[in-house]
Structure 1
C-alpha cells in the first residue's frame, strides 16, 4: 500500500475514502441520470426534442450501449494497469464522459441535420470514458488500508452506499430536468454531475490519497511477476474454473431479465402506467431510482437474514436459484397487472404500485446473486487466471445486456404492445423458473467442485456480510 498523507481520519476512516465516495457518487449520478432518460428520449417525437424512433430500434441501441458499458472496462483496466495508472485513467475517463453527456445535451436546433451523428459521438465518448473510469476507482478503496486492516469491510460498505446514493439521485434530478426543461436539459444535468466528480478528484486527490493510483499496477508488481512460473492447472483448479464458467453463464439469464429495467420497463412506465399522484405526474424516469433505493433499504435486511441463518445459510448456487425465483416473481407481478387492471391495447394504464413491486422483487433477487460474482471469482480462480475469469464474468453480463435489448424490442407499438409485453413477461418468467430449477439441482455438484472454498474463507460477521451485500453495485454497475 502506498503511504497516505497524514490528514487524519473521519468517522474512523481515512479522509481519502470520502473523496472516493464523492467521486463515485457524482459519476453514478451522471450515468444513471442519463440512462434513465435515454430510451425515453429516443422514442420521443421530434417536435418534443427526441428522435421519434420505434420502440424496437430504441431498445436495440440501448442493449448495444449497455453491452459496451461492460466490455470497455476490460480495455480501460488494462490501460490503467500498464500505461496510465488509476488516477490518470479516472480523470481522463471522467472528462470523456462529461463531454459525452454535454454533447448529447446540444439542442437539435443548432445541429443542422446532424443530430443522430452527434448523438452517436456522445454515446461513444460515454463508452470510452466509462471503460477508463469504471474498473479503477473501486480498487483504490482497498489501497487505503494495509493488509489485515479490519476497517476494510466497513470502508466498502460506505463506498457502495455512495454508489447507490448517486444511482438514486441521478434519475430523480436528471429525469425532472428532462420533464420540465426538455431532454437536453436532462443530459446536461448528468454532465454537471460528472464534472463535479472530476473536479473533486483533480483538486483533492493528492492531498487525501497521496501516491495511491499514480503508478501503473504493472510496474509495481513487475518484480513479483518475474518470479511467477506457468504450471498446468490441477484437478481442483479445473473444477473451480468449471464452477465459475457455469455460474457466469447462468448469470446471463438473470441479467437478461433484470436489465429490462432501463429499456422495456422504462417504456412501460412511460406509456402504460398511471403516474398521477396527488395531481402530480411522476416522471417515468423516476422509477429507475427504485433499485438503488431498495438496495440501500434492504441490503442490511438481507445481510441480517443470512447472518441469522448461520450454518443454514444457502450456498452460492442455491442463492443463484433464489435470485432467479425472485426474477420470475417480478415478471409474474407484471402479468397479474395486465390481467387485473383491465383496459385495451394502448389505452391500458396500470397502477404504479405494480411497478414498485416489480422493482422490489428484482432488487431482492439482485441481492441474492450479484454479491456472489466478485467473491466467487476471487475465491475460486487460480491466481494466474483471475483477471481473465473476472473478464469472463463481465463478458457474460455484457452479453446479457445485449440480449435484454433484443428481447425487449419485441414489444412493438400501439395496441399490439400489451399482448407482446405479456408474451415477453411470460417467456422471461418461465426461463427464470426453469433456470432456477436447474441451478438448484446442480448446486451440490457445483459445491463439490469448489473443493472446500464455499463458505469457509470469509469472516462470518454482520459487518462483513453487510459489506458483501452492498458490494452488489460494484459488480453490476
Structure 2
C-alpha cells in the first residue's frame, strides 16, 4: 500500500479517484466512438450491415487483444505508469485521425494499439492501493466500474449527438478531446498513485513443486472463466453492434412530438450502472455480514442468467409484435434487466483476475481478462452477421442462449475456484 492511500476521499484511497476519473474519460472516448461506429459505416460509408458488423467486431476484438502484449510490456519494461501515458497518447491521436475518412482503417488500428498499453495498466494499479486484508478492496472494482460508466453515459449524449445531428467528424473529434482530458487528470494526480514496486526477487516458496501445481491450477481455472466470459460477451457486445440497428428500425422513438435520437439510448445502460451500483453494494454488504454472500463465480453466473432473461424478453416482444414498432419504454425495461446482470458479472470478473494475479504480473493477468473481451468481441462480430438473416425474434433468442451457456459454465467452475488455497485467492 502506498503512503497516499492513508488519505482518503469518501472512504477510499485518493489514488482510486484518480484512476476512476482517468478511466472515465478514456471510456468517454471509447464509447463515444463506439456509439457512432456501426451507424457511421452503414449510413455514411454505405457499408452493408454484415460488413459493418464484422468490422465492428474485428476492431473491438483487436482493442482487447493488444492488451495481452501491452500488459507484458508494462510488467517487464515500461512500468504501469509509463504504459498508461504512452498508450493514452497514442489513443488520443487515433481518435482525432478518425475525423478523416481516407484513413478510417488506420485510425482504428492506432486506437487499438494504444489501448493495448493503456487498458491493463490502469486497473491493475487498484490492488496496489490496498493492504491484502483491507475489506474495501473487494468493493473497489465496483466503484471503479461506476467511473467507467459515467464516461459511457456522457459519450452518447455528447459524441453521439454531435455525430448524428451535426456531423460525424465532430463526434469523433470530441472523443479525442475526452482521451486527452483523461491523460491530464492522470498526470496531475500521479502523487496519489501507488509507487512502482521494487524489483527485488520474490521469496522462494517452501514447497516449489506444490507452488507450481497451484499456479497451473489457477491459470487453468482463469482460462475456464475466460471461456465463459467469451461466450457471454458474444451476446452482451451486441449492445454496441446490432442493437443500435434494431433501435433505429424497430423502436418507436417519439416523445411529446420529439424523436429521440438513437444514440441517446446508448446512455441508458451506463446511467443505470451509476444509479444501481450503490444499491447493489449495500445489498451485497448486508449479505456478507449475514454470511450469505455469493462466491465470485456464482455471482457471475447469476449475472449471465439475468442477461439471458433480458434478451429473452426482446425475443418474446418481437414475436408478439410481429415486426411492428415497439415503444421505447420496452427498451428502457430491457436495459434495466441487462444492467443488473452486467453488474453481477463484469466487475466481479475483473476483480477475480486481479486478486489471483501472481507477483509482478498484475498487468499481464488483468490483460488475460481483457483477452476474453477480445475473443468475445470477435465472436460478437460473427454472431452479429446473423442479425438480418435470423430475424429479430430468432436473433435475440440466440443471444439469450449464449448468455445461459456462460452461466452454466461459471456455475460449474465455482467449486474448483473456491477450493483453491487461500494464498491464491
TM-score of the pair, normalised by structure 1: 0.77
Which digits, 9 at most, give the CA deviation of each residue in 1:105-125, with x for residues without a partner? 13x5xxxxxx2xx01111111
Sort the Cα spacing of 1:449 and 1:141 in 2 relative to 1 into closer, same or farther, 3 A. Answer: closer
Residue 360 (str. 1) matches residue 336 (str. 2): yes
Could you tell me which of 50, 57, 73 is aligned with 1:56?
50
CA distance in 1 between counterparts of 2:137 and 2:126 reads 8
Query: Taking structure 1 as reference, are residues 16 and 322 closer, same or farther at Cα in structure 2, changes over 3 Å only?
Result: closer
Map of 1:22 onto structure 2: 21
1:154, distance to aligned residue in structure 2 (A): 6.8
- Matching residue within 123, 130, 138 for 2:115: 130
Q: CA 1:439/1:141 → structure 2, altered by over 3 Å: closer, same or farther?
A: closer
Instruction: Check the 8 A contact 2:67/2:120 in 1, yes or no.
Output: yes
Contact 2:202/2:359 (8 A) holds in 1: no
SS in 2 for 1:51: coil
**Which of 86, 94, 101 is equivalent to 1:100?**
94
Residue among 404, 407, 416 paired with 1:433: 404
Q: 1:72 aligns with which of 49, 52, 66?
A: 66
- Mapped contact 1:324–1:365 kept (Cα < 8 A): yes
Change (3 A) 1:244 1:158: closer
Shift of 1:385: 8.1
Gapped runs of 5+ residues in structure 2?
Answer: none
Shift of 1:362: 2.0
Separation in 2, partners of 1:20, 1:386: 16
Instruction: Report the CA distance shift for 1:318/1:32 in structure 2 as closer, same or farther (over 3 A).
Output: same
Number of aligned residue pairs: give it: 422
Hey, what's the Cα distance between the residues in 2 that align with 1:133 and 1:179? 28
Moved more, 255-264 or 431-440: 431-440
Please report how far the alpha carbon of residue 250 of structure 1 lies from its aligned counterpart in structure 2 after TM superposition: 1.9
Instruction: Tell me the distance in 2 between the aligned counterparts of 1:376 and 1:155.
Output: 12
Q: Deviations over 1:346-379 (max 9, x none)?
A: xx42221222222222222222222332343355
Deviations 1:195-253 (A, max 9, x none): 22223334x245x448x56x6x5xx22x2248579646566555544433323222222
Separation in 1, partners of 2:115, 2:92:
10
Q: Which consecutive residues of structure 1, in runs of 5 or more, have no partner in the other structure?
A: 45-49, 109-114, 459-477
Q: Contact 1:239–1:449 at 8 Å: present in 2 too?
A: no
Comparing 161-170 and 73-82, the one that deviates more: 73-82
1:454-473 matches, cutoff 5 A: none
Q: Is the 8 A contact 2:5 2:130 kept in 1?
A: no
Matches of 1:434 and 1:147 in 2, distance apart?
34
Match of 1:247 in 2: 225
State the Cα distance separating 1:266 from its structure 2 match.
1.5
Between structure 1 and structure 2, the one with the greater Rg is 1
Q: 1:199 to 1:63 in 2, by over 3 A?
A: same
User: In structure 2, the residue corresponding to 1:105 is in which secondary structure?
Assistant: coil
C-alpha RMSD of the superposition: 3.3
